């Protein structure tokens, strides 16, 4: 007989202190409600408030990849059926402020150079809000095809960083 993995997991997270049994909640359990259901509102609150902490250390060191972070957070909200928790017009305006009309690409944030990855994230965010109408699809396609190398790979930007993904 092999032990039940659920029992083993519970035993590993239980400690005895002064004769009392204390159970440490895992991060996964913290994200779940009392009945083992996803605590969606806690996730929504975290995502929405993370955007408002622009002066935090974490925000500052990840400023250059904000477009991708926005995509990941907004996709999470969409999966939770909570995309309405953000102002769509505000998000679209910010995404478009990252656009470089001279190249057709998007930077990871306002004032950052265009890059193929952030261009993808920007297009994906606009898809979430059904706002592809604001794009110059031909200009974006020219930007992306202009980054393709002879061997079929793509440079991430005009300086030649090769993106093997």
- pLDDT (tens digit per residue) in 43-74: 888 888 877 777 777 766 677 888 999 999 99
In a domain, 1, yes or no: no
SS3 category, 43 = helix
Contact at 8 Å (CB) between 98 and 110?
A: yes
Predicted TM-score (pTM) of the model is 0.73
* Neighbour tally for 83: CB within 10 Å: 17
Task: Identify whether 35 is part of a domain.
Answer: no
- Residue 16 in any domain: the answer is no
**For residue 23, is it within any domain?**
no
pLDDT of residue 21: 46
Residues 6+ apart with CB under 8 A from 165: none
100 contacts 107 by C-beta, under 8 angstroms:
yes
Q: Which structural domain range is residue 50 located in?
A: 40-147
Q: What percent of the chain has pLDDT over 70?
A: 73
Q: How high is the pLDDT of residue 14?
A: 46
Assigned domain for 153 exists: no
Percent of the chain with pLDDT over 90: 53
Q: Is 163 contained in some domain?
A: no
- Per the structure, the count of domains in the chain is 1
Report pLDDT for 9: 47
In a domain, 52, yes or no: yes
């Amino acid at each position: 007989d092999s032990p039940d993995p659920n029992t083993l997991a519970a035993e590993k997270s239980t400690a005895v202190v002064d004769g009392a049994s204390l159970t440490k909640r895992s991060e996964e359990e913290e994200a779940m409600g009392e009945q083992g259901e996803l605590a969606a509102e806690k996730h929504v609150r975290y995502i929405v408030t993370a955007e408002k902490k622009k002066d935090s250390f974490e925000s500052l060191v990840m400023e250059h990849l904000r477009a991708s972070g926005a995509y990941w957070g907004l996709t999470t909200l969409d999966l939770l059926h909570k995309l309405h928790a953000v102002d769509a017009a505000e998000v679209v305006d910010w995404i478009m402020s990252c656009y470089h009309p001279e190249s057709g690409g998007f930077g990871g944030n306002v004032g950052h150079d265009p890059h193929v990855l952030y261009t993808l994230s920007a297009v994906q965010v606009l898809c979430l809000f059904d706002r592809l109408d604001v794009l110059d699809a031909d200009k974006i396609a020219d930007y992306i095809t202009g980054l393709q190398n002879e061997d079929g790979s793509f440079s991430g930007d005009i300086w030649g960083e090769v993106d093997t993904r």
